Amino acid sequence: MTLVGVSPVCENQLLRSLDRLPPFSPILNRLLATLAQEDVSFANLSEVIEKDTVLAGNVLRLVNSALYGLPGSVNSVRHAVAILGMVKLRNVVMSLSISRMWRNVRTPEGWSSARFNLHSVATAILSDLLAQRLPAPYPEGAFVAGLMHDIGKLLIGIALPGEFGMIRARFELGGCSLEECEREVLGTTHAAVSGAALQKWNLPSPIQRAVTFHHTPDQANHGQLDLSHVVHAADQLAIDLGHGLAASCEAQQGKLSEQTLENLGVTRHVPRLLEQFQPEFESLQGFF
């Protein structure tokens, strides 16, 4: 993917910043393979998880949490995997693995890794829940798309800290959106950078498209309902709930996402969706 409007030097710096992130772990590679409908058994995944002491401990910690309310303790990874199920396991382990992957990366001044992780996880969970209620294509990729939608912001901060600071300063002055500030400084947006990163990582094309157009979903699929609409709504709803990237972010009481959710025809589902979201988010929040 070519980043339109970006100088070759900046584009090279942005994409090379991917190399500064640690490689995907074996478990993450296997989980991503399930998105391509490859046959990955519980036994195989359990075996891989067991080799990662930290990940195995976190999986056991989650399954023994109040979220599941089991009468006794689960001490076996294979038992935990059976309780979680393939979809839930994939979502949890992806969240933990991705956050660990970029935890030790040097980030620019003003960057909050904790807020970034929590916003990403909140958007991922909400994307997954919305995809269950909408006939969007490739719903199995909703969680990953939500989890990875803002990675372009991280890459801009890593590769171009000076430009990142300029973008932040312009945005804080008010009067224009973050995407407008990014175009003024870079000639592109974090969404386009995110899409380019996912293309380089060879993630499925519907996920690439959802991330690339998560701020302009009507451009993704000739105006037809797309996974990008799901991520767009989830991103806004996460901010409304107080899980945005800005340090001053507070709950917006539906102001940002209200019209988007209404346009998608899912407003009536929001109370139940939030009931499902809260315990899942709280169970993962403790890991970040």
User: CA-CA distance, 113 to 121, in Å (whole number)?
Assistant: 12
CB 166 within 8 A of CB 183: no
CB atoms within 10 A of CB 88: 16
In the numeric block, which tokens belong to residue 267?
Answer: 């407003």
The answer on 94 and 116 residing in a single domain is: no
Pinpoint the alpha helices (H) of the chain.
Answer: 8-16, 26-35, 42-50, 53-63, 77-101, 113-131, 142-148, 151-159, 161-173, 178-186, 190-200, 205-212, 227-240, 258-264, 270-285
pLDDT confidence of residue 13: 78
pLDDT confidence of residue 256: 82
Question: Higher pLDDT residue, 132 or 41?
Answer: 132
The answer on 275 and 212 residing in a single domain is: yes
Q: Which of 113, 109, 207, 208 is nearest to 166 (CA)?
A: 109
- What value, to the nearest 5°, has the Cα angle with vertex 60 and ends 54 and 62? 100
Task: Tell me which residue range forms the domain holding 288.
Answer: 1-20+107-288
Three-state secondary structure of 59-101: HHHHHCCCCCCCCCCCCCHHHHHHHHHHHHHHHHHHHHHHHHH
In Å, how far are 164, 167, 183, 187, 229 from 174, measured between CA atoms? Answer: 16, 11, 15, 19, 26
The answer on 12 and 29 residing in a single domain is: no
Residue where one domain finishes, among candidates 51, 75, 101: 101
* pLDDT tens readout for residues 3-13: 655 667 677 77
Domain count, the chain: 2
pLDDT confidence of residue 192: 92
Q: Looking at the predicted structure, is the pLDDT value of residue 224 above 90?
A: yes
* pLDDT tens readout for residues 102-131: 777 888 888 888 899 999 999 999 999 999
User: CA-CA distance, 12 to 273, in Å (whole number)?
Assistant: 41
User: Which residue bears the tokens 């969007």?
Assistant: 136
* pLDDT tens readout for residues 48-84: 888 888 888 888 988 888 777 777 888 888 888 888 8
pTM for the model: 0.88
The answer on 266 and 156 residing in a single domain is: yes
- What value, to the nearest 5°, has the Cα angle with vertex 185 and ends 237 and 115? 35
The answer on 287 and 201 residing in a single domain is: yes
User: CA-CA distance, 134 to 230, in Å (whole number)?
Assistant: 8
User: Which residue bears the tokens 């990662």?
Assistant: 52
The gap between the terminal CA atoms of the chain, to the nearest Å, is 32
The answer on 16 and 54 residing in a single domain is: no
Residue where one domain finishes, among candidates 57, 79, 101: 101
pLDDT confidence of residue 247: 54
* pLDDT tens readout for residues 126-146: 999 999 999 999 998 999 999
What is the average pLDDT value for the chain, to the nearest integer? 85
